[in-house]
Amino acid sequence: MKRIAIIGSGHLGQQIAHHIHHDSSDKVVAFFDEFQPVNTIIGQTPVIGGNNDVITKYQQNEFDAVLIAIGYKHLETKKEMFQNLDGKVPFYTFVHSSCYRDPSAFIGQGAVLYPGCVIDQNVRIEDNVLMNISCTVAHDSIIGKHSFLSPSVAIAGFVNIQEQCIIGINSTIIDNITIAAKTQIGGGGVVIKDIDTSGLYVGNPVKFIR
């Protein structure tokens, strides 16, 4: 059994803790949260400090590995936190047992895959990525670091999604597409050509909004 700490005790952190507890032998033993007092109990799990306490608490053997549960509105913060902890604290990677993962696929440290995801041949899910329920990533595609995939995203083969992207619920990305870093695709968006400029894109096919 691994003892897991989660940074962020809001809805996302609580969801991830729920999945870990119901789908593995590991246990979430602590939250870190800047906005909750120490010793606040979330569910049955205590808040033991803020973001700056993670390394110290790890050195004090309070937990074995950490996950960052910061939502899609704060991906820059999520990236900075990952970089600050990388090499100092082990990251926990969680892939729900209901996911299909081809043996050739790579899943990076700190990644979280919710129930029902499908990860095909030669797919690369990079560090600190979150994939919500029922996402499908077809062969030879890459999901860049610190990105957030909403439920039921469908990504075809040979797609390259660069870092810190947000892909909205029920989005579809056809094959051989590259999406620039820090791009957001709105819910239901259909991407049929490369996106070279970061920003918000919505529609079918998607168009640049801002």
Residues 53, 131: Cα–Cα separation, whole Å: 27
User: Residue 132 belongs to a domain with what CATH number?
Assistant: 2.160.10.10
Quick one: pLDDT at residue 19?
98
Residue 206 lies in a domain: no
Q: Give yes or no: residues 115 and 186 share one domain.
A: yes
Residues 36, 71: Cα–Cα separation, whole Å: 17
Q: Give yes or no: residues 121 and 61 share one domain.
A: no
Partners of 27 in the β-ladder: 3
Quick one: pLDDT at residue 105?
98
Q: Out of 40, 57, 85, pick the residue that ends a domain.
A: 85
Q: Give yes or no: residues 106 and 193 share one domain.
A: yes
pTM here is: 0.96
Quick one: pLDDT at residue 96?
98
Residue 210 lies in a domain: no
Residue 208 lies in a domain: no
Quick one: pLDDT at residue 17?
98
How many structural domains does the chain have? 2
Residues 122, 125: Cα–Cα separation, whole Å: 10
Q: Give yes or no: residues 28 and 47 share one domain.
A: yes
Range of the domain at 50: 3-85
Q: Give yes or no: residues 162 and 192 share one domain.
A: yes
Show pLDDT as tens, one digit a residue, over the chain (210 residues): 999 999 999 999 999 999 999 999 999 999 999 999 999 999 999 999 999 999 999 999 999 999 999 998 899 999 999 999 999 999 999 999 999 999 999 999 999 999 999 999 999 999 999 999 999 999 999 999 999 999 999 999 999 999 999 999 999 999 999 999 999 999 999 999 999 999 999 999 999 999
The structure tokens listed for 149 are 């995939």
The structure tokens listed for 62 are 């309070």
Quick one: pLDDT at residue 72?
87
- CB within 8 Å of 152: residues ≥ 6 apart: 133, 134, 135, 169, 170
